[in-house]
Amino acid sequence: MGPRTTFELLARWLWRGALLLGLAVAAAPASAAPADPIALKTCILRDAPGLDARTLLREPGRFDCTTPQRDFGAGDFWLISQPLNVSAVESRYVLRMASVWQHAVTAHVLFADGAMVSIRTDASQASHHVQLGGIIERILPHHAAPIVRVLWHTEGSPNLRGLLLAPTLTTTTSAGLVNVRMAAAYGAFGGLVLALLIYNLALWRVLRYPFLPFYCLMLLALGGYAYASSGAISLAFPDISNTMRMRINYVTLGLGGVSAMAFVRCFFEPRVFTRRLTFLANAAGAGVMIAALGIALTGEWQLPFFDALYSVAFPALISLIVPVLYSAWRRGSEYLGLFALAWGLPIVLALLRCANILGFVPYRFWLDNSTLVAMAVESVTSSLAIAYRIQQISRDRDLAREQELAARVLADIDPLTGLLNRRAFLARAIGREEEQVLLLADIDHFKLVNDTIGHDGGDEVLRVVARTLRQAVPLEALVARFGGEEFAIVVPASQAIEAETVLARLRGARMPFDLTVTASIGVTRGALTRESDWKALYRAADAALFDAKKAGRDRARGQIRRVA
C-alpha cells in the first residue's frame, strides 16, 4: 500500500470519527456543569408597560413556551423558568447563562417563603462576571427556603442567536470545578497555539513556503477569538464591555476563516482552485470581513444588517471546503488525503458552528467552545500534514534541480559518443595553470568505413573509438568529439601518455564486423591559460595531424619544441 493510499484510508476513518464526534457534540446537554446542574427551561413574554416581576411570577400562564426564541425578534422580554424545588445546600447556588448581545439582563429568584432576590447585569458589568467559556455567572445569596422559580428580564436584545442561552442553576462548588477544568483546557489551548505559531514561523523563515504565513495568521486569529469569546480577555481587561468583547469575536473569527481559506488555496496545487472557486472564495471572504468590520465599527447602529451578512457569508466561506475537496479529488491532488486527515474534525465542527449561526442546530456549550477540540486535534495532525507537504515540495524541488543538472550535462555531452562536445571541452580546458599536452586524433578513411558497413555501423565505430580513448588516458584528461571523426584530448604534461600507446589501444579495439580501424594523431604541448594559448596549441596539433596523414596514416606526429 502506497503512502497516498494510506493517507486516504486514514482520512476516511478520521472523517467518520469526526462526524460521529460532531453529532455527539451537537446532541450533548447544554449545561456546562458536570456535577448537579439544573437545566432551566424558559417560556417567553414580550415586555409591555405595567409588567413587574411579582405579578408575572404569579401568572406563569401568560408566557409562550412553544415559540423558538429567535422568532420573537428584537426588544425587551420576560423569561420564566419551570417550577423548581431546589433546597438550600452548604455551598451557595449560582445562576449561569451564555453571554449574548444585550443591554442588560435582570434575574429575579423567587424562594418558597415568598422572598425574592433580583440581580441585574448590564453590558458593562458582564465582563466582571464572565467565566471561561463565555458563561456569565452570578452567585445567589444564601437563603434557607428552597428556590421555586427564576424570572429574567432582558433589555435591548437584538436577539441574534437567542434571548437567553443555556441557563442553568448549580452550586458554587460545581461551578468552580467547571471553571478549573476550563482554565486547564484554555491554558493547554494557548500553549498549543503558541507552539504551533513558533514552529510554523520558524519553518517559514527557513523554507519561505507561501502557505505558512497564512497558517500563522489563522493561528493568531483563532487564538484571539478563543481569548475573547471564552471571556479570558475580561481577566486582563475587567472594564471591557460585553458588547465590545463580542465585536472582537466577530473580527477575529472572520479573520480566522479568511486566513484559513487562504491557507487552503496555497496548500493545494494551483489546479485545484478553479476560476469559479477562486471567485466564490474571494466573494465570501470579502463578505465576512465587511460584515465583521461593520459590526466592530458601527456597533448596534447597523447590527442586524451586518450580522445577517455575516450569518450568510461565513457559512458560505466554510462550506466552500466541500467543492474544494471535490475539486482536489477530481484533479488528483497529492495532498487531499493528508489535508482531510489534519482538518477533518475542525471542518465538521466549523460546519456545525455555521449550522448554529443559521439556527439549524441549537446552542451547545461544547459546540460554542469547539475551537479547543478542533485545534487540539489539528495541532497533532497538522505537523504531519505540513511536514509531508514540505517533503513533497522538497522532492519536487530536488527533482527539478536534478532535471536542470541533467539538462546541463546533456548540453555538454555529445549524444552519440558520450564524450564532451567542443563547447564544453573548451570551457573546461582553457584556464588550466600547468603545462598541457593536446592530442588531436582523426579516424583514417572513415568515409570508407561508412560505405562498407553503413552509417549505423559507422556510428558504432565512433562509439568504440570514444570508449577506447577515454580508457586510454588518465581521469584528469579531457576527451571530446570535435565533430565528424575528429577527437581531442587535453591532459596535464606531468601525466601525459605516449601517442603510440593510444594508437596501439585503437588497433586492438574490437570493431563492428571485426573491421580494422586506425587513426592518425597530432601532438603538441604548451600553456593553456588563455584563449590565445588554445588557438596556438590547436594550430600546432592540427599541423602535426596533417603531417601524420601525409606520412601514411596510423601514426603520430608532434612538435618537439614547446608552443609558447
Q: For the segment 98-126, what is each residue's pLDDT rounded down to a tens digit? A: 988 899 999 999 999 999 999 999 988 88
**Given this model, what pLDDT does residue 555 score?**
92
Percent of the chain residues past pLDDT 90, beyond the cut:
42
Task: Please tell me the pTM assigned to this model.
Answer: 0.63
Which DSSP category does 47 fall into?
Answer: -
**Given this model, what pLDDT does residue 5 score?**
45
**Given this model, what pLDDT does residue 405 score?**
67
pLDDT at 13 over 80: no
pLDDT at 218 over 50: yes
- Determine the average pLDDT of the residues in 176-187: 85
- Determine the average pLDDT of the residues in 200-226: 85
pLDDT at 357 over 50: yes
Question: 553 in helix, strand or coil?
Answer: coil
d(CA 123, CA 99): 10
- Determine the average pLDDT of the residues in 373-395: 67
- Determine the average pLDDT of the residues in 213-230: 87
d(CA 126, CA 296): 18
Upper half-sphere CA count for residue 552 (Cβ side, 13 Å): 1
- Determine the average pLDDT of the residues in 171-197: 84
Distance (Å) of CA 505 to CA 92, 498, 549:
106, 11, 19
**Given this model, what pLDDT does residue 104 score?**
93
486 pairs with which residues across the strands?
A: 442, 483
Confidence of residue 16 (pLDDT cuts 50, 70, 90): very low
Q: What is the mean pLDDT of the chain?
A: 84
**Given this model, what pLDDT does residue 106 score?**
95
563 pairs with which residues across the strands?
A: 526
Amino acid at site 284: A
**Given this model, what pLDDT does residue 115 score?**
93
Residue 151 CB contacts under 8 Å (≥ 6 apart), including other chains: 53, 56, 57, 78, 79, 80, 81, 107, 108, 110
- Determine the average pLDDT of the residues in 462-482: 91
Report for 255-269, 326-340, 387-401, 410-424: range of highest mean pLDDT? 255-269
d(CA 345, CA 22): 8
**Given this model, what pLDDT does residue 368 score?**
67
pLDDT tens-digit map of 515-549: 889 999 999 999 999 999 999 999 999 999 999 99
Residue 255 CB contacts under 8 Å (≥ 6 apart), including other chains: 217, 221, 224, 289, 292
All three cell numbers of 141: 445569596
